[in-house]
Amino acid sequence: MARKISKPASDLANVHDQQLHRGNGGELHQFAGDGYDVLTTAQGGPVDDDQNTLRVGARGPVIIEDFHFREKIFHFDHERIPERVVHARGYGAHGYFETYESFAHYTKADFLQRAGEKTPAFVRFSTVAGSKGSFDLARDVRGFAVKIYTNEGNWDLVGNNIPVFFIQDAIKFPDIIHAVKPEPDRAFPQAQSAHDNFWDFISLTPESMHMIMWVMSDRAIPRSFRFMEGFGVHTFRLVNAKEESTFVKFHWKPKLGLQSVVWNEAVKINGADPDFHRRDLWQAIQSGNFPEWELGVQLFDEDFADSFDFDVLDPTKIIPEETLPVQPIGRLVLDRMPDNFFAETEQVAFMTQNVPPGIGFSNDPLLQGRNFSYLDTQLKRLGSTNFTHLPINAPKCPFHHFQQDGHMAMSNPSGRVNYQPNSWGEGPRESPDSGYRHFPSEEAGQKVRLRPESFADHYSQARQFFISQTPPEQRHIAMALTFELSKVETPAIRERMVSHLLNIDETLANKVATALGISEMPKAADAAVQPRQDLEPSPALSIIENGPNRFEGRKLGMLVTDGSEAALVQAVASAIKDAKGVVEYIAPKVGGVTLSDGKFLAARQMIDGGPSVLYDSVALLPGTDFVPDLLKVATVRDFVADAFAHCKFIGYAAAARPLFEKAGVAELDEGTIELSNSETVDAFVGVLGKLRVWAREPATKLR
Ligand code: HDD
């Protein structure tokens, strides 16, 4: 069907002629006559030539009459919109929310009344600090913003993968964000908190300490969006048909369990695949492995709130799950990628104030401030009050209002009536019965700028988080703090941070101080509330305690060459498939390899492009004759050395043993498993659900 207009390269005169007329270097061109749509201008006018501007003679000046060129460049020049001031880098997907059972006892929200009801949803995951083009594996909070298109308007639960926040009052938001973003005089570092401004602000803001424990933990370097929790953070309200109110905290729990990477891996993934998280979500959804989360609620009343150790309005505090269990009420499934990233993921506008009847707010001062900020920012970003006309933002239920005109108004009512009351018998009317009613809580007091005393304990829950972690996770927190503070150039800031750590955990403070080379321990920071409460550990706070115990949804990288043992390759591949994992083949050439049985195996990556950091586990199954060649290659050495240092399970064929030696792995351990037959393959794949051999880690680190 396609018509080739390029001429043989040897026919120089013809090529020249063609370049004059079509300006192409000899590449293929297809025309509308070949069955394609006619290319038009934005006005719908057909275009005859999209390769050359209109000019006076072949070598003369371009003329302004060229309306097609003018329109094309005009539009291109205006393609960008401002990126989000925070959470600029994000990735979204469509799906649905399914209600498990009627939740009418607690809320009148219509979409939660009937078991099995499915409501369309859109989710955008994000990092906070980096620009739109930054890398995915920054050490950062992840945004977890969910829009549920209910039949009573959109509900936006604009959460994070961490259940607490840095600050208690929205008035401090510009400060914390300025501090973490690139410093204004030098415009670096990008997408990193490891710099003086951030730690200066934090070390002067004790209320951040609980959040700091979370962001220095593995939570801030998730392996995949699919393997992280989400939290609504604030206390919200549910209101039922009898106008009874219950407080609620929202949780999203991933079906595939929690998983993070290690920091050295994160740094290398950012180089090898800056789109690691995007690609992961894309590949999962495109291959039909739809990620899923349960929506859980912690429900409580005023009495609980009054008796709880902390103020439920304080967004720097959690209610431990062991104190108040999380009850699942529905599930969220992501099953479709957007057709167009800009139209949907970039233009989606989340707003905390989008709530249907039956869901309301508490007086959390951070939430109240957010309810102002999110509407405001959409105008800046999307350029018009009519951003709700964009399909991704428009409700999917009927809507009728008298808001009109403005830039780019796209859904415009017809008729005379654009106000009410009116006597024309037309147009929508308010509904006292079904309309949104704000919960009539009793409020009284003086106008003051005052933080409640009940918000003043900044260290007890920070400690609780720390002592709830397993030893490897505690080690990672110490290493993360050390790394971040090692990038801080001002010694006084480093010491000020250590003085806070002393109030959280002395061993942690000592470790970090020693690792930073602080010779004289500072004194502990003054704490507003003393003594710190000694809270019980909460196992629900550990990622490792809540790991998947299965390899489902994870990826094994298999290193193969010509001559790889076909039976072994197939045995590993089929065992991984049975475990609902994915195998990616890495070969000397991306063209693939010929296995020992003469069969061809296509590769996904060549060795230089597929480092082991991209995989949850690796198998080294090279053909014996190829091993001497592999030993010469630095990236093969890194492949093995990194997989070992990052505590991954490594399956290997006997022929691969010299690769360990070359990678500096002197002693193999229980996480390196020789594969020779189906039993050893089953044993290997059987342990992969543990994901890491943490016992190996201390030996791979500087003490
Ligand atoms: Fe925010 C975006 C989450 C506090 C002001 N925020 C934004 C997004 C998420 C969060 C996930 C990205 C939404 C998307 O994908 O488009 N923000 C949070 C959480 C917070 C929080 C969990 C604390 C519990 N935010 C917060 C405060 C303010 C803002 C205190 C301002 C007073 N946030 C914004 C914003 C953004 C935003 C400036 C930028 C882009 C946007 O809203 O649409 O309005």
Average pLDDT, consecutive stretches of 10 residues, N- to C-terminus, the chain (703 residues) = 36 42 56 92 97 97 97 97 98 99 98 98 98 98 98 98 98 98 98 98 98 98 98 98 98 97 98 98 98 98 98 98 98 98 98 98 98 96 97 97 96 93 94 96 96 97 98 98 98 98 98 97 95 94 95 98 98 98 97 98 96 98 97 97 98 98 95 97 98 92 60
Tens digits of residue pLDDT in 577-615 = 999 999 999 999 999 999 999 999 999 999 999 999 999
Q: Are residues 146 and 41 in the same domain?
A: no
Is there a binding annotation on residue 703?
Answer: no
Which value, in Å, is the radius of gyration of the alpha carbons in the chain?
29
Is there a binding annotation on residue 374?
Answer: yes
Task: Locate the ligand 1 atom nearest the alpha carbon of residue 87 and give its number.
Answer: 12
Q: Is residue 334 part of a domain?
A: yes
CA angle 554, 672, 291 (to 5 degrees): 5
CA angle 651, 655, 659 (to 5 degrees): 75
Q: Are residues 110 and 249 in the same domain?
A: yes
What is the model's pLDDT at position 697?
A: 94
Q: Are residues 243 and 152 in the same domain?
A: yes
What is the model's pLDDT at position 30?
A: 78
What is the model's pLDDT at position 250?
A: 99
Largest CA distance in the chain: 90
ipTM of this complex:
0.99
Is there a binding annotation on residue 652?
Answer: no
Q: Is residue 171 part of a domain?
A: no
CA of 610 to the centre of ligand 1 (A): 35
Q: What is the dihedral of CA 349, 354, 356, 357, to 10 degrees?
A: -170
The Cα 297–Cα 66 span in angstroms is 61
Task: Locate the ligand 1 atom nearest the alpha carbon of residue 378 and give its number.
Answer: 43
What is the model's pLDDT at position 32?
A: 87
Domain boundary among 330, 360, 389: 389
Residue of the CA atom closest to atom 23 of ligand 1: 165
CATH number of the domain where residue 682 is located: 3.40.50.880
Residue of the CA atom closest to atom 19 of ligand 1: 159
What backbone phi and psi angles, to 5 degrees, belong to 338? -60, 155
Residue of the CA atom closest to atom 21 of ligand 1: 370
What is the model's pLDDT at position 699?
A: 82
CA of 698 to the centre of ligand 1 (A): 38
Ligand 1: lining residues by beta carbon, under 6 Å: 84-87, 90, 124, 126, 143, 145, 158-160, 165, 170, 173, 233, 315, 348-350, 366, 369-370, 373-374, 377
What is the model's pLDDT at position 34?
A: 87
DSSP 260: B
Q: Is residue 568 part of a domain?
A: yes
The Cα 263–Cα 191 span in angstroms is 15
What is the model's pLDDT at position 700?
A: 75
Q: What is the DSSP string of 425-472?
A: S-S----TTTS-----------------GGG---SHHHHHHHHTS-HH
What is the model's pLDDT at position 9?
A: 38
Q: Are residues 266 and 385 in the same domain?
A: yes
The Cα 263–Cα 199 span in angstroms is 19
Which residues are annotated as catalytic?
A: 87, 160
Q: Are residues 236 and 341 in the same domain?
A: yes
What is the model's pLDDT at position 27?
A: 58
Q: Are residues 255 and 348 in the same domain?
A: yes
Q: Are residues 237 and 297 in the same domain?
A: yes
Q: Is residue 259 part of a domain?
A: yes
Number of independent structural domains in the chain:
3
Q: Are residues 31 and 156 in the same domain?
A: no
What is the model's pLDDT at position 702?
A: 58
Is there a binding annotation on residue 124?
Answer: yes
Q: Are residues 71 and 99 in the same domain?
A: no
CB 549 within 8 A of CB 689: yes
Domain boundary among 22, 43, 77: 77
Domain boundary among 77, 99, 132: 77
CATH number of the domain where residue 65 is located: 4.10.91.20
Q: Are residues 303 and 159 in the same domain?
A: yes
CATH number of the domain where residue 112 is located: 2.40.180.10
CA of 374 to the centre of ligand 1 (A): 7
What is the model's pLDDT at position 167?
A: 98
Residue 612: domain span: 553-700
Q: Is residue 618 part of a domain?
A: yes
Task: Locate the ligand 1 atom nearest the alpha carbon of residue 348 and give its number.
Answer: 16
Task: Locate the ligand 1 atom nearest the alpha carbon of residue 366 and give its number.
Answer: 30
DSSP 599: -
Q: Is the peptide bond before 421 cis (omega within 30 degrees of 0)?
A: yes
Q: Is residue 198 part of a domain?
A: no
Is there a binding annotation on residue 370?
Answer: yes
Q: Are residues 289 and 160 in the same domain?
A: yes
Q: Is residue 453 part of a domain?
A: no
Q: Is residue 38 part of a domain?
A: yes
Q: Are residues 66 and 149 in the same domain?
A: no
What is the model's pLDDT at position 449?
A: 97
